Amino acid sequence: MTTTNNTKALIESVKETLTQDGDLLRNIIQQVLQEMLEAEMDQVLGASKSERSD
């Protein structure tokens, strides 16, 4: 379920970025890379943010 919530949050964030002025491509790449890094860290640790692995 966390992945679905993260994906929805990412989509909303990208939509917001698309409607704002500024360096669009840089913001999109930054958001995608951040999401990828967080997903990789979750996998390595065996737990998502604010969760404990036993």
pLDDT digits (tens, 9 = 90+) for 26-50: 888 889 999 999 888 888 888 766 6
Q: Any residues with CB less than 8 A from the CB of 18 and at least 6 apart, and which?
A: 24
DSSP state of 24: H
pLDDT at 51: 66
Q: Look up the pTM and report it.
A: 0.51
CA atoms of 49 and 29, how far apart (whole Å): 22
Query: 39: which 2 tokens?
Result: 């997903």
Which long-range contacts does 29-33 make (Cβ < 8 Å, 24+ apart)? Answer: none
pLDDT at 34: 92
- 4 compared with 51, residue with greater pLDDT: 4
